[in-house]
Structures are given as C-alpha cells and as structure tokens.
Structure 1
Amino acid sequence: MSKANGGLTEEELKSFWMPFSTNRLYKAAPHFLREASGLYFKSDKGQRVMDAVSGLWCCSLGHGRKEIAQAVYEQLCTLDYAPSYQLSHELPFKLSRRLLNYLPDDFSQVFYVNSGSEAAETALKMALAYHQLSGKTEKVRLIGRELGYHGAGFGAISVGGIPNNSRLFPNQLQFTDRLPVARGDNPFIKGEPERDDTQAEKLLELIEKYSAETIAAVIVEPVSCSGGVLVPPEGYLKRLREICTEHDILLIVDEVICALGRLGHPFSSVERFGVIPDFITTAKSLANGVIPLGAVFVRSGIYDVFLSKSDTLVDFFHGYTFTANPAACAAAMACMDIAEREGLYYRASELESYWEQAVHSLRGSPHVKDIRNLGLLAGIELVPAPGELPGYRTWQLFRNCFEKGVLVRANGEVLALCPPLIIETSDIDYIINVLSDELGKLK
C-alpha cells in the first residue's frame, strides 16, 4: 500500500476504469479528493483546492450543504425507494409544480430521469413518438449540431458533434444530421457574437436536402459547453425557433448545464434568449451533483397527443428504475430552497460583467488562442503543443492548476471554467491569478 496512491494498493488503483480520462497518466501520479465545503475541495494531501468548474458543471450551490444532506437523510429514513411505474410518491409532483412555476404556461409536464444523457435520450424519443402518434410517420430524422454534446448514449452521440465521442462506435442512429458549429467568426469576443442569422439558417439547407416532412426535431445547447464553451451569435435560438415552427419541427433545448442559474436565469432559453422550446432538458445542478437527477420539461400540446392518441393503456413506453427517486427529489427540493433564499438563480447576471473582464484579462498570456464567455461560463482555448497528442497542453495546465489550488476542466484544447454561483469577486481574482501564473510557466 502506497501513501502516494492515497492509501490504495496497486490492484485497487488499477481496478477503476475512469470515464473520459487519461487513465494511463492519472494512475501514474494520482490525486484524490477527500472532503468538500463551500468553494473548496480538500485533497488526500490536505491541500485546499478551489472548485472553478462546479465539480463537473453540476455543484452550482457549492459543496457540503448540510441542508441538502439533512433532506436526503430524512427522506431515506422515511421512504428510501418508490417505483414510478403505475405508482409514485408525493415529492415528484410537488417538485414538478415548483419547477414549472419558472416556465411559461406552455409547459405542463416534467419527466424525471437520472442524468443529462437520459434527459436527451428521453426528449429525442418523445419527439419521434409524438410525430408517429400524430400520423406524421415520415418525420424520423433528428438534427444536432457540430461540437454539440448531449450525453454518451447512442441517441445522444448520434446527434452530438464531438468526433472522439462517436468515432469508435459504428451502427449509430441512421436518420441524423448536424448543423454547423454556431460561434463567432473572430477570437476574443465578449459574450454573444453579433447577430448572424446565416448560422441558424443552415437548418433551411437541411430542410431543402431532406424535406421538412422527414425531420422530427432539432436539438441544441444554448452554449456548447463540452464542445469548448462555444457561444452562438445573438438571435441564434430565436431564428432556429422560427424555422422549426414554420416547418413543423420540434425544438429541444439542452440546458443540462445552462439551466438553474448558470446564465443568470432559471431557464436561459426562455428568459435570456426569449424562446419557448418544445422540450427543455436539465440535470446537473438540479440536485447539485449530490444524487443523480435529470428532467425533461414538455409543452402541454405534446403531452396531450400522448394521452389522446395512444392505443394502449400505457401512454409512453419509456422510463427508468430510479425515475423520481425519493432521495433525489428531496435533494432537489432542498436545492430550490437554497437557490431561492440566496438569489442564486440570478447571481450570474450580477457577476457576469466582472467575470467577463477577469477572464478576458488573460488575453495575451502565453499559448492563449481565444477566450469565450457567457453568464458564469468561460472557455480559454490554447494553441496545441507541437509534437504532443491533442489536448496535452490543457491537461498539463489542469494538473498544474490543481497543484496550485484551483480545479479547472480540460476539454480538448479548451480550458473550461464554470464556478459555483456562490463565488465572490475575490475568488474570481484568485482563479485568474493562478491561471495567469501557470500559463506563463507552460512550455
């Protein structure tokens, strides 16, 4: 047993196949997280590490919230599990109504899942089934976007646009295509790039190619976070909505990361971008990363078709064993209590200007190719390291920042930032200072 391995044996260290990770490099020099509170993790070496990425885009309320832990504990002591097939418990109904209060009356239903991946799969299946029940049986094609990310399932990678996520997996969904990347033409744009409807209007080219009668749905993120924090031009979502409405195509907006305060509103597609999608998916911050929980918000007209057109007793043949898990619902209710009491759904709007100026102060630092931001999100794109595998330089920066007490996220050649919504301006300064120092040391 080695102290350098966090007290694990070599056999134990080898046994966990870590997801989306450089296992061979990590296990040669592992770091471990032992505790978490507020903005900070504590490592196995006793070091405090500021969380500048909300765990994995999900711990928006910060860590160690005793109110959430207490709610989960009390729920587990009362009702630890309840099936959602033909039976349920009260919490998902209460949680649904509370969440729907933040959306227009167009939305009437919430379908619970366990992750953002499952939320995307569910929305895609709902879209296909809706058209089948409506008698539009040729509407089978699904449109995603290049560098989009909607999870790791086969439906999600079929419409997603990050090449490494799909290149080793043949036999994906047959009837799919992708819009081009939506982003500004120039580097170092602050916030949304200037309006450019030609990017959204690429959908018209796909409609001409396939015919609107064959396209079931379009799925996009407000910001392509895992694709590199790519911010579409102003008006992009609105123009997509107009085209989808005109051609009877359903619009799915994936707010797994962007909902619940990340862009300064509970639901950014509606409040920040002025769009009413047919489906909104969310997950990560719904239970603050404490317990897996995701949700699909559905417009009432779509739900009504399932009720009125189904020729079986079961409305929708889809669901999961852990749908609306009691402890997960209790965690989400406690998260809403905290966010509402502390005004965290709108905190990003208050900090956005300061955050923007801070992250763009890194322009001119060694190796920095571009910086993008919106809300409390930022992506710092680096020049690739010559002679190394793609992403090696950002991986180095990730490791070095951790050693200096800041956790960031390496996404290919982009360093992503997504701090908890409880962050203060002094904390932002600390993150930027560490990044500036470590960028200067990179070769």
Structure 2
Amino acid sequence: MNNSENNSDKIFSDDTHLIQSFADLNNLKQSIGRLAITGAKGVYVTDSEGKRYFDGMGGLWCVNIGHGNADVIAAVTRQLETLDYFSTFFEFTHPVAAELARKLATLAPDRLNHVYFSNSGSVANDTAIRILHHYNNLRGHPKKKKILSRVNAYHGSTYLAIAMTTPVFSQGWDAARDLVHHIRCPKREPDEMNLSDADFIDILAEDMEQAISKIGAENIACFIAEPIMGACGVIIPPEGYHKRMLDLVHAHDIKYISDEVITAFGRLGHMFASKEVFGIEPDIITTAKGLTSGYQPLAATILSDEIFDVISQDGAAFLHGMTYSGHPAACACALANIAVMEREAIPEQVRKTGKLFEAGIKSLADLDLVKEARASHFMAAVEFNRPSGAPDNINIGQLVGDAARARGLIVRPITDAIVLSPPLILSKDQIVEIHQILHDAINAVAQSQFMLESSHV
C-alpha cells in the first residue's frame, strides 16, 4: 500500500485484508459498502462521512455505560502507566486482578466466590465446561461430560462454544458436537400460544427429562442457559422457567451454568440477573461484554464454593490458562466501569427507563408488518411477517435495518427480525426518538414497492 492510500477512510471502508466476523466474505470482496465507524460518544457513533447514528446495538450488546466515558479511559491509562502487563500464571498475581475478583464475588450470588478471567464470552463458557469436566474427574465421575444446551442458544464461536450454540450459526463448520445435546428453548410454537405459563413450563420440563433419560444423568455434566436468549431474537422465558430447570438438573447431579455474557451489568436492571431477576443461584455464572462496557476485552467465569473446593484439593493442579487472563488494563477498566455504574445508579435507572424502552418496542406490535415485538428492559427484538410471495433471498430484517440506518439508528438484522441492545444511559427523549425511527422505518418497508408487489403475488 503506498502512502497516498494510507488514510483512515480507505483503510476502514475499503479493506480487503480484514476478515470480518459472521460476514459473507464473498460479498465483501465484491463491495466497498462496509459502514466504517470512526468515532463514538455517549449513545451515538459516527461514520467516516461524519453521519451520526444511535448505537442501537450497544457495540455488540456491550457498551452499557455509553461511549467515551472519561473516568474509564483515565483508569485504563493510569494502569498502563503503572503496570502494563504481567501474567497471573504460577505464583504471580497483581493487585488489580485480585481486587476485581473480590468485587465480582461481592456482586454475584452468595455461593459464587471464585473468579477465573479470560478475554471473551466464548472462552468464559469454554472455561466453565473444562473446569466442570476436571471437577467430575476429581469426584470420580469421568463419564460425566455431556452438555445440555438449547435450540436458539448463543454461547460463543470457539470450537466448543459454537457446539453449544444453535447450529444456524455454524452451518458448514465443524464443532465439538458430540459433547452437546440441544433441548427445546422457551419459545412457544403457534399451537402453544394459549397455554398457561405453568402448562408450557411442564412441556419444557418434560423435554428436559426425556433428554436426561436418553443420555443418562451419569453422562451429563451441565446445563447451560442464557437468562434471556439474545442473538437469536431475545427469547424471554415464562416466569418460573429457570427455577424449574435448575431444580430438575440439580435433582440429577447436573450443574447449572448461567450465561450472563449479555444480561449482567445492568442490562436487565441489576448487576447480575440470575438471582435478582430470575430467582436462581446457578453453580457457575459466565460474563463478559458489560463487565467492561466493551472498553477492554475481558470475561469472567465465576464458580461456586463447592466446585472450587473440589478443583483446589491437594494434588489437583489447575492446568488451564490464558496469557491475558486478568490483564491489568482490562481489570482496571472493569473496576472503573463498575464504579461508574454504582456511582450513577445505572442499574436502578434501567429499572425505569428500560421499562419505557420495553413498552415502546412492544407497541410496535400494532403495525401490520410486525409479527411479534419482544423486550425486557434494554434487550429487544421485533419479528416481521413475511409476505407469501417474498423470494427466499429477501431479508425483511435487513430491509428494516437499512431503513432505520438511513434515519440515524443502527440495529442488528437477523433474517426476518431486528435486535436492539442500546447503551443503558438513554434519556427518555432519546428513547422516544428511537421508537419513532423504528416506527417510520417499519412503515417505509411495509409501503415499499417490493413489499406491495410481493403481497399480491
């Protein structure tokens, strides 16, 4: 590349060297239409042409305190000036990792007091499984290795985590699928819409029981579940679902992993959602994203005292490690991020403003194009009706996403739906503005020539 081409717009918007996650790489080879985000502040991001957008994705479910927080940036800078890096391997430690581990233990449910740090939610979930496999070896149950996950789950994209994730995200790719069995997720089928929550939970519990019976409880290490399922469209379970599933798996000596990579640190109005929102104390919580609000890559796997007591027994070396586990700058970032949340009472605010956001999303269900609008606080999805004559390659979610972007809002399209997970600091006026943009974008797609023609095919 010569010097004349070495400018930021060219590098970011027409880069043939960057491999982008979950993208159609062939399409990207043919196009220079990538949206280049070059700046951010508060709840907004700015592209390379200077246009400003609401960050309706919160980066990727993660920028909880908003962009450009000066306190967090200063904390990371100070840490890099003091101790840029040292490992937490062997007998070495450093104060900021220990301090963050103590802080997370105070925030997590009572029995979860031991923390392993990694750098992504995928690795946090891999770590949880690897630890449980070792735990069962030490207990004398070497066959107890299988994993129960759910259809429509998303637990990451490493070789094991993608196996726990719903197969739609890994078509054509290999994964450690022999370890994983997918049971039903808590999304009702059309003929189940009139069932009471109790009756629907009975159906889900029976599906779980059948899976355990088929596989054998003696072969199953754990059940992993997101409190609210995110990437496949914000699937919200009926009240009491998680408690029923936890009691069921515990009755079979199966551990419960709560994947709070998305739901922790304020998104549902609490630092952790498992106990405060859903009334359960899992055996392991995994988290990332909002832990640092995306300012630094950091994840945590938080273990119960009982699991830790087994894996820390005499002669049981902990043969698991990541170079960047407990990275000083990332830990300093997390501590500063949590301090901002506590000082500004962001989770408490979310219990109010999040309910306004939720209500506005649900009101979109009145529009003809909308099949269902699902939301809990600042997690939301809008699913669309598909015209009977629409070609298979037409993505209604993408059409609505494009219309929203043109109006100044970035959302995440997923086939015939869109997902939103904005920063948690939205004002009431900003919430109203986002709802109006969505309303206008959905109506614009509904009235587009393509939709009108498809509906008459």
Q: Is 1:429 matched up with 2:432?
A: yes
C-alpha distance in 2 between matches for 1:264 and 1:311: 42
Residues 259-274 of structure 1: pairs in structure 2 closer than 5 A: 259-274=264-279
Residues 230-269 of structure 1: pairs in structure 2 closer than 5 A: 230-269=235-274
- TM-score w.r.t. the length of structure 2 is 0.90
Task: Tell whether the 8 Å contact from 2:396 to 2:415 is kept in structure 1 after alignment.
Answer: no
Q: Is 1:401 matched up with 2:404?
A: yes
Q: What per-residue deviation string (whole Å, max 9, x for no partner) do you get for residues 155-188 of structure 1?
A: 1121221x2322212352423201112124569x
Measured after TM superposition, the shift of residue 12 of structure 1 is 5.1
One-letter identity of the residue aligned with 1:45: E
Q: SS in structure 2 opposite 1:101? A: helix
Moved more, 10-19 or 394-403: 10-19
Q: Is 1:110 matched up with 2:115?
A: yes
Q: How many residues end up aligned between the 2 structures?
A: 434
Residues 8-157 of structure 1: pairs in structure 2 closer than 5 A: 8=10, 13-23=15-25, 25=27, 27-86=31-90, 87-157=92-162
Q: Is 1:299 matched up with 2:304?
A: yes
Of residues 403, 418, 424, the one that matches 1:415 is 418
C-alpha distance in 1 between matches for 2:24 and 2:401: 12
Task: Tell whether the 8 Å contact from 1:384 to 1:390 is kept in structure 2 after alignment.
Answer: no
Moved more, 130-139 or 176-185: 176-185
One-letter identity of the residue aligned with 1:334: A
One-letter identity of the residue aligned with 1:415: I
Of residues 187, 207, 214, the one that matches 2:212 is 207
Of residues 342, 347, 350, the one that matches 1:348 is 350
Task: Tell whether the 8 Å contact from 1:266 to 1:346 is kept in structure 2 after alignment.
Answer: no
CA pair 390-168 structure 1, distance change in 2 beyond 3 A: same
Measured after TM superposition, the shift of residue 345 of structure 1 is 2.2
Task: Tell whether the 8 Å contact from 1:141 to 1:217 is kept in structure 2 after alignment.
Answer: yes
Q: SS in structure 2 opposite 1:263? A: coil
C-alpha distance in 2 between matches for 1:9 and 1:81: 29
C-alpha distance in 2 between matches for 1:176 and 1:52: 33
Q: SS in structure 2 opposite 1:50? A: strand
- TM-score w.r.t. the length of structure 1 is 0.92
Q: What per-residue deviation string (whole Å, max 9, x for no partner) do you get for residues 402-441 of structure 1?
A: 2211111112322011111111121111111111111112
One-letter identity of the residue aligned with 2:409: V
Measured after TM superposition, the shift of residue 10 of structure 1 is 10
Of residues 300, 306, 327, the one that matches 1:325 is 327
One-letter identity of the residue aligned with 2:326: A
C-alpha distance in 1 between matches for 2:179 and 2:49: 50
Corresponding residue of 2:454: none
Of residues 296, 316, 334, the one that matches 2:336 is 334
Q: What per-residue deviation string (whole Å, max 9, x for no partner) do you get for residues 260-295 of structure 1?
A: 111111111111111010000000011110110000
Q: Is 1:374 matched up with 2:376?
A: yes
C-alpha distance in 2 between matches for 1:44 and 1:133: 54
CA pair 380-253 structure 1, distance change in 2 beyond 3 A: same
RMSD of Structure 2 on Structure 1 (CA) = 2.3
Q: Is 1:441 matched up with 2:441?
A: no
Moved more, 258-267 or 346-355: 346-355
Q: What per-residue deviation string (whole Å, max 9, x for no partner) do you get for residues 60-84 of structure 1?
A: 0000001111111111111111111
Measured after TM superposition, the shift of residue 396 of structure 1 is 2.4
Measured after TM superposition, the shift of residue 215 of structure 1 is 0.9
One-letter identity of the residue aligned with 2:404: C
Q: SS in structure 1 opposite 2:296? A: coil
C-alpha distance in 2 between matches for 1:401 and 1:227: 20
C-alpha distance in 1 between matches for 2:408 and 2:241: 37
Structure 2 runs not aligned, ≥5 long: 446-450, 452-457
Task: Tell whether the 8 Å contact from 1:384 to 1:391 is kept in structure 2 after alignment.
Answer: no
Q: What per-residue deviation string (whole Å, max 9, x for no partner) do you get for residues 317-367 of structure 1?
A: 112111010100010011011000011123221124322221122113242
Structure 1 runs not aligned, ≥5 long: none
Task: Tell whether the 8 Å contact from 2:260 to 2:286 is kept in structure 1 after alignment.
Answer: yes
C-alpha distance in 2 between matches for 1:216 and 1:19: 30
Moved more, 279-288 or 369-378: 369-378
